[in-house]
Structure 1
Amino acid sequence: MSIEYFKHIYFRLPVIVRLLISIFVVMTFFGVIIHLVEPSAFPSVFDGIWWAFITGATVGYGDFVPLTALGKVIAILLILSGGGLLTFYIMTLSAGTIQHEQDLSKGKVKFKGEDHIVIVGWNERTRQLVNMIETKDSKEEIVLIDRTLDHLPYQHYPIHFIHGDPSEDSTLIQANIQEAKSVILTADITKKERQADITTILAIVAIRGNNQHVSINAEVLSISQIENAIRAGANTIIRSNDFMSTLFYHELYHLKNTRPFETVLNVLNNQQFSHLALPEQLENSTFKNGIVFYLDKKELLFGFIRDDDWVINPPKDTTLNKGDILLTLTSW
């Protein structure tokens, strides 16, 4: 192996690895030398290497001590060289740890996990979403992508932050989108609705191009852009404007002593909706029988989907037909 080839390999190694190699070479060298100079005080090469590490680290157990003048000169040279190497190694290791923490907070560190949730956009909605996910499962891995945020302390929010544009492949690779199980895309409320939706659609295209199987849930503000988002590859469209408009409508015209918003919020916090194929035993049965059937399973039947028509709270004698999709509420 030529010197140039060795230098080509050595200087491409990480600093910590290079320091460790240098320390082992220096300590082994002094260990062999002291064994050759004072074989009576250092019976084996390993004893010499052990003494070199202990002396270089300024620990000084005193179990091996050079007795001759030449041996003491070697010890001085070891302290001057080896001690400096060990100190520099510790300083580099500490500085590297601090730098890694800073890079993590600034969104510069690649995520290497898998089966994680990717959230695009940092705002009050995603902040509350993270808290809800952490409450449900503290071991869930979450990766946040945001280009407007410059710093996100990992100690305050246990999520992996990636700073960048979600429509760029380099950012998605940093988030390890190939191994993600689901993606949440929130609309940028600082932009006009149409521009925010275009940005979301571009991100959907990029994500789908990097992962054909990941579940993409996207928030779209304009009705006219829903089809484009679906064409781009979104699995679920969150129409936040429609949802909020409906809530406002209920607040305006609800019955007295009713609180629609709090009711919906608590239902969604404590229950989940299910779409179930109609069981054979309920075919041609009444909706009332279906309610009783699912109550025994601790689920609440409140409607069904038939030919893309949503039938909510139908009359109790409504007949359930083969092919109906039942709508139920069940606890988390």
Structure 2
Amino acid sequence: MNFYKFWEFYFHLPVFLRLLLTVSITMLLFGATIHLIEPQHFPNLFDGIWWAFVTGSTVGYGDYVPLSTWGKVIAILLILAGGGVVTFYMATISASTIKHEQNLSKGSINYKGKNHIVFVGWNERTKQLLDMITKRNLGEQIVLIDKTLNQLPYQKHYIHFVRGDATEDEVLSKANIQEAKYVVITSDPSKKERQADQTSILTTVAMRGNNPNLYIIAEILTKEQLTNATRAGADTIIRSNDFMSTLFFNELFRDASVKPFDLLLEVLSSQQFNQIKLSKEMEGYTFLECSDHYVAIEKLLIGIIREDELMLNPPFDTILKNGDLLIILSRL
């Protein structure tokens, strides 16, 4: 009965462990046998096991050699049996490694990490965002969910690819969304704007349902769907159409030589906007006095949020009050 349990346990082990256990038992048996047959040439059990591994792997250092007839018979059996086992073990490891790498590229392997960033959709925006993260060596672990790609080479992009629809719980589970930190949902460029927004909202609902603490950044194209995206659970909504329309307007009707699009790209690539609560010490100060305070520590105060109203570059004599949020521009 004990033997049956061991046999059942053995065949329930992963193939790597089964082969490793088989090799170990085989070498242990041959090592013990040669030690018992020729104790004068193999004075202890470890010497016998060492000889078995060296011979079975066809390395053959020659530091231990059987001299008796029975010892040579054992060596022949070891070469025939043990050598095949070791060779099969190494071939299985190589084949499994290649298969695992192929499965990674095809997006069929579950992600096991935590506190990672999930990208939804493989497009030009995702590629540029990934390049920015990589260039700054932020060390973030990235998981991509996309249903249009057939494969994504892991070595080239160093991100974990999960192929499938981001609205399905099974796919989200593969991306380990329950342990993710952020998710960026980009709009599908292959769909019409309204359809793309509906897909983004449905994805937001699925994400929020699987992880209530997840910070969700969603791209929405039409104004009509902004409220729905907020209701669905998006923490930040990127209104890409409004943003681009504003840039086009400024480019069309600018008077100065500075190009607003190029300038904004430069600012966003080297600076970061931060929203901080006004400290008790700064209450009652003017906007100018507070601005001077932040300039001294190499930060730029550009506006305040008061009662949900954004005030960019307010009058210098504006008195700051309790509850104000400061909009700060600082270096990355």
Deviation (angstroms), 1:284: 3.8
Question: What CA deviation, in whole Å up to 9, does each residue of 1:274-326 have, x standing for no partner?
Answer: 22323344434433223222222222222222222222222333333333222
Secondary structure of the structure 2 residue equivalent to 1:237: strand
| Alignment correspondent of 1:236 | 236
The corresponding residue for 2:17 is 17
Count the aligned residue pairs: 332
Counterpart of 1:124 in structure 2 is 124
Q: Distance in 2 between matches of 1:235 and 1:248?
A: 27
Distance 2:290 2:86 in 1: 74
Tell me the residue number matched to 2:87: 87
Q: Which residue of 1 aligns with 2:77?
A: 77
5+ residue gaps, structure 2, are none
Equivalent-residue separation in structure 2 for 1:151 and 1:141 (angstroms): 19
Tell me the equivalent position of 2:115.
115
SS in 1 for 2:157: coil
The Cα offsets for residues 26-74 of structure 1, whole Å up to 9 and x where unpaired, read as 1222222223333333333332222211111112222222222222122
Deviation at 1:2, TM superposition (A): 4.7
Secondary structure, counterpart of 1:156 in structure 2: helix
Structure 2 match to 1:179: 179
Change (3 A) 1:317 1:35: closer
CA RMSD of aligned residues (A): 1.8
In the TM superposition, what whole-angstrom CA distance separates every residue of 1:250-291 from its partner, at most 9, and x where no partner exists? 111111312010111111111111223233444344332232
CA distance in 1 between partners of 2:17 and 2:92 (Å): 11
SS in 1 for 2:229: helix
- State the match for 2:133 in structure 1: 133
Distance (Å, rounded) in 2 between the aligned partners of 1:138 and 1:301:
26
The residue aligned with 2:100 is: 100
TM-score, length basis structure 2: 0.94
What pairs with 1:171-320 in structure 2 (closer than 5 Å)? Answer: 171-320=171-320
Q: Deviations over 1:142-171 (max 9, x none)?
A: 111111111111221111111111111221
> Does 2:29 correspond to 1:29?
yes
Q: CA deviation at 1:206?
A: 1.5
C-alpha separation in 2, matches of 1:120 and 1:229: 15
Structure 1: tracts of 5 or more residues without a match = none
CA separation in 2, counterparts of 1:160 and 1:30? Answer: 44
1:4 positional shift: 4.3
TM-score by length of 1: 0.94
